[in-house]
Amino acid sequence: MRRCIAILFLALGMVPPPGAAEAARAAPPGRETVRVQGIGVRADDLIMTLKGTTLYLLWDAFPYNADLPNPLSVGALGRMAEDLVSGFALKKHPKVRRFRVTILEFTDRDSYGAPRYDLTKTLGRFEISLDAKTGLPLTPLNLDAGGTQN
């Protein structure tokens, strides 16, 4: 790809600007990754919806099945939800103070590889609020267990 760009610049008689090589090596837009308990999660596998003062975040964990801890505990899922909020959601929506995180798997795909949204397996649902003084995430509430803290 870089060779083609260089040939194109030479053919058109243009000299690439300084830093063009670094820009060519950078990740393309939409390929942003977030570290979630040591797993590099692509932003493409996250769905965010802002409703009022709450940000709903869905994470399709199916592509990362091999990297998830086995057995998968509620505490590990809660820490993953915290990482998603602090590493991705707060950067996109810094003024939001309440988050609902659903970690699920779209286990069935269509012939194009796109997930079928009607067939899912929910791994965990959490509500995370931010501390008013520090702005850091508080302990996630497990919504599947009636709002108990992890």
69 and 123 together in one domain:
yes
Distances (CA, A) of 97 to 10, 75, 81, 129, 146: 51, 22, 14, 6, 21
63 and 93 co-located in one domain: yes
Domain holding 82, by residue range, is: 32-149
Same-domain check for residues 95 and 23: no
Q: 38: which residues sit within 8 A by CB, 6+ positions away?
A: 67
Identify whether residues 125 and 56 lie together within a single domain: yes
114 in the same domain as 49: yes
Q: What secondary structure letter does DSSP report for 27?
A: P
Q: How do strand 54-60 and strand 98-105 relate by DSSP bridges? A: parallel
Distance CA 105, CA 116 (A): 10
10 and 45 fall within a common domain: no
Q: Residue 150: which pLDDT band, with cuts at 50, 70 and 90?
A: very low
Predicted pLDDT of residue 30 = 52
Q: How confident is the model at residue 7 (pLDDT cuts 50, 70, 90)?
A: low
Say how many domains are in the chain.
2
Judgement on whether residues 21 and 95 belong to the same structural domain of the protein = no
Q: Are residues 42 and 111 in the same domain?
A: yes
Lowest mean pLDDT among 10-24, 37-51, 117-131: 10-24
Same domain, 2 and 45: no
- In this structure, the answer to whether residues 23 and 41 fall within a common structural domain is no
Tens of pLDDT, residues 20-76:
545 444 445 557 888 888 888 888 888 899 998 899 999 988 888 888 888 888 888
In degrees, to the nearest 5, what angle opens at C-alpha 138 toward C-alphas 88 and 132?
95
pLDDT for the residue 133: 65
pLDDT over 70 for what percent of the chain?
Answer: 71
Report pLDDT for 136: 66
- Residues 54, 107, single domain; the answer is yes
Asked if pLDDT for residue 113 goes beyond 80, the answer is no
pLDDT at residue 27, as a whole number: 47
My answer on whether 89 and 135 are in the same domain is yes
Asked if the model's pLDDT at residue 134 lies above 80, the reply is no
